[in-house]
Amino acid sequence: MSKDDKQNRDKREIVFLGGVEGVQGSCFYLNAGKRDYLIDCGIKQEQPAESPDFSYLNEKNIKIDGVFLTHAHLDHSGGLPYLEADDYLTEEAKIIATNPTKNLVETLLWDSLKIHKMETKNQGLDQSYGQNDIRSILGRFKGVDYGKYQLNNLDIELGSSTHILGSSWIKITLQGTKITFSGDIGGNHRTNHLKELQNPGETDILVLESTYGDQKNQPSFTEAKNKVYKQIKESLNKNEPVLIPCFAIGRSQEILQLIREREHQLPDTTEIVYDGMISKAMSDYHNYATHSYMNEAIMNYKSNSNDLKPFLPDKAYKPNKMEERHRLLDGEKTPLIVAPSGMLEGGWSPYYLIKMTKNYENAKIILTGHQVTGSVGRKLLEAKREDKNKVKVQVTALMPPEEADELNGKGYGFHEKNIKIPTNWVEQVNGFSGHSAANQLLQFTRKTNPKKIYLTHGEPKTKKQFKTFLEKNLNSKIKIPKLNQKTTIKTKENGKTTINPNKIKKLKTKINNLEQKIQKHEKTLQKLQTKNQKQNKKQK
């Protein structure tokens, strides 16, 4: 779409390009008149990962002038390299996000490139994007802190959404109309470290997440932490190693923080280990352990203890060599290991799991996150629920070929191995979710007093239930948008509805035409009158 075409557009609209068919792939297009923006650009983390549906942009030949990111999770940011590779961005397009989001996205995008390479190679497909696209995308980032900004013709505000480090809601004021995109809302039950949920204030349109909209409240976070600690302590006291598979960003820091708080109560011999991407995310958590991003509890702890690493136990370390990892689970030691991924798919957690089953009679695996259908973590939970003694799973882990059952390529690398895990090793602890449930989402929504709400980021059934719940409690119009559904934004300037310039042009043309007609009629009338006068004279 040329710049002139953009200048003359008379409609402002939102189109839902993703995040409307479940909890993944958030992506919303905002036609702001002279400019085009996206709010979030996430992938569906299935196998293989799926980019957002850009067919709408394609059909209308739209180039994006800027992207606003609510937070780093790949279901909100993983589509960015596709956007770059498929040339949907203008040359000057910037990506606006908080500073920590910018750093976390960098870590996640490089990691997702590795997965993308592996997936496409396994399926004999071409890569959709490569290193250069990630480099270009990262070069477009403009990091900001929570606060108010102006970009082109828009007023923008970012505020804490208490979901992960740097997460925010984004409020955009477009010709007087206020639109808030909630992103993922964590809320007050999670203020153990992140800055408290901020209030976006009055809004006309709210695009709201609904992940746990079918639950009134989340289970107690404090109780969940106590449960995890109890499991850890019991196992270590019995000389059984503990593996906590964890998502590298957020959950790992929470788990390691709770271990740090009670570290002195664990057996002296305990080796506390974290591995993989946790280490990079950890340095972001520590660099941004500031008043801008963390709550008072963390800031007070830092100043009272002089400990600049509040998310890390004193004794914790990251193994750097394979021998170190190999030695950790030799059958003699009883380490406490926190490693990604949380579902035992990828990362270091599958490797440690293999070692545990090989060398130990008893051990503990504590699952604290959502386990997607088909994942190794889900299989463990299902077998436990079905009261099976053991469950056989195939895991993919980085290992030497002689230890693998099935080889993916030659040499040292990711290979497959079948293992049997006793189900009494498996424990699940709920209550760590990074999302608010219905009551907290209602509180947040009440503060924004929206005229219209669009429910996104939720399973279809959940959204329906949440809609009914909100309708009982609010007077807002509530809608569940479909994929690529368009919604027109009524704009107002200084409280009045603005008339778009095209309408004025059309009216002027109409008036001109009418004036010409009047002149014509007046001439005809004059002629007739003159004729009439002449006729009258003759008759006289």
Q: Which is nearer to Zn ion, 73 or 193 (CB)?
A: 73
Pick the piece of the chain touching Zn ion (CB under 5 A) from 184-192, 204-212, 295-303, 454-462.
184-192
Query: Minimum CB separation from Zn ion for residue 382, in Å?
Result: 25
Q: 89: which strand partners? A: 64
Query: Minimum CB separation from Zn ion for residue 73, in Å?
Result: 4
Among 73, 195, 225, 251, binds Zn ion (CB under 5 A): 73
Could you say whether residue 36 binds Zn ion (CB under 5 A)? no
Query: Minimum CB separation from Zn ion for residue 250, in Å?
Result: 9
Among 53, 184, 254, 284, binds Zn ion (CB under 5 A): 184
Q: In angstroms, rounded to a whole number, what is the distance separating the alpha carbons of residues 333 and 359? A: 10
Residue nearest Zn ion (C-beta atom): 73
Assigned token pair, 328: 């950790």
Tokens 């929504």 identify what position? Answer: 445
Query: Minimum CB separation from Zn ion for residue 162, in Å?
Result: 11
Q: In angstroms, rounded to a whole number, what is the distance separating the alpha carbons of residues 338 and 365? A: 10
Q: In angstroms, rounded to a whole number, what is the distance separating the alpha carbons of residues 105 and 345? A: 20
Q: Which is nearer to Zn ion, 355 or 457 (CB)?
A: 457
Pick the piece of the chain touching Zn ion (CB under 5 A) from 97-105, 180-188, 263-271, 347-355.
180-188
Q: Which is nearer to Zn ion, 194 or 328 (CB)?
A: 194
Tokens 């699940």 identify what position? Answer: 428
Query: Minimum CB separation from Zn ion for residue 72, in Å?
Result: 8
Query: Minimum CB separation from Zn ion for residue 263, in Å?
Result: 29
Q: In angstroms, rounded to a whole number, what is the distance separating the alpha carbons of residues 214 and 464? A: 9
Pick the piece of the chain touching Zn ion (CB under 5 A) from 3-11, 69-77, 107-115, 350-358.
69-77
Q: In angstroms, rounded to a whole number, what is the distance separating the alpha carbons of residues 457 and 466? A: 12
- The residues, ordered by sequence, that sit 6+ positions from 471 with a Cβ below 8 Å of its Cβ are 478
Query: Minimum CB separation from Zn ion for residue 299, in Å?
Result: 24
Query: Minimum CB separation from Zn ion for residue 507, in Å?
Result: 48
Query: Minimum CB separation from Zn ion for residue 224, in Å?
Result: 18
Pick the piece of the chain touching Zn ion (CB under 5 A) from 61-69, 72-80, 440-448, 478-486.
72-80
Tokens 């196998």 identify what position? Answer: 47
**Do the Cβ atoms of 199 and 161 come closer than 8 Å?**
no
- CA proximity to 477, closest of 503, 524, 501, 445: 445
Query: Minimum CB separation from Zn ion for residue 280, in Å?
Result: 18
**Do the Cβ atoms of 166 and 101 come closer than 8 Å?**
yes
Strands 64-68 and 36-41: parallel
Q: Which is nearer to Zn ion, 73 or 189 (CB)?
A: 73
Pick the piece of the chain touching Zn ion (CB under 5 A) from 6-14, 58-66, 93-101, 176-184.
176-184
Contact map string, positions 415 to 434, toward Zn ion, x by CB under 5 A? --------------------
Strands 27-31 and 36-41: antiparallel
Q: Which of residues 319-378 bind Zn ion (CB under 5 A)?
A: none
What b/e readout covers 427-437, taking b as 16+ CB neighbours within 10 angstroms? bbbebbbbbbb
**Do the Cβ atoms of 328 and 322 come closer than 8 Å?**
no
Strands 177-181 and 205-209: parallel
Q: Which is nearer to Zn ion, 73 or 370 (CB)?
A: 73
Q: Which is nearer to Zn ion, 80 or 404 (CB)?
A: 80
233-237: long-range contacts (C-beta < 8 A, 24 or more apart)?
Answer: 233/265, 233/266, 235/334, 235/363, 235/364, 236/266, 236/267, 236/270, 236/334, 236/336, 237/267
Query: Minimum CB separation from Zn ion for residue 71, in Å?
Result: 6
Q: Which is nearer to Zn ion, 370 or 415 (CB)?
A: 370
- Count of residues of this chain found to bind Zn ion when the rule CB under 5 A is applied: 2
Q: Which is nearer to Zn ion, 73 or 195 (CB)?
A: 73
Pick the piece of the chain touching Zn ion (CB under 5 A) from 71-79, 124-132, 287-295, 385-393.
71-79
Q: Which is nearer to Zn ion, 185 or 426 (CB)?
A: 185
Going along 409-506, which residue ranges are E strands?
413-422, 426-428, 452-456, 477-479, 486-488, 492-493, 496-497
Query: Minimum CB separation from Zn ion for residue 175, in Å?
Result: 30
What is the rounded end-to-end Cα distance, in angstroms, of the chain? 72
Q: Which of residues 14-33 bind Zn ion (CB under 5 A)?
A: none
Residues at the interface with Zn ion (CB under 5 A): 73, 184
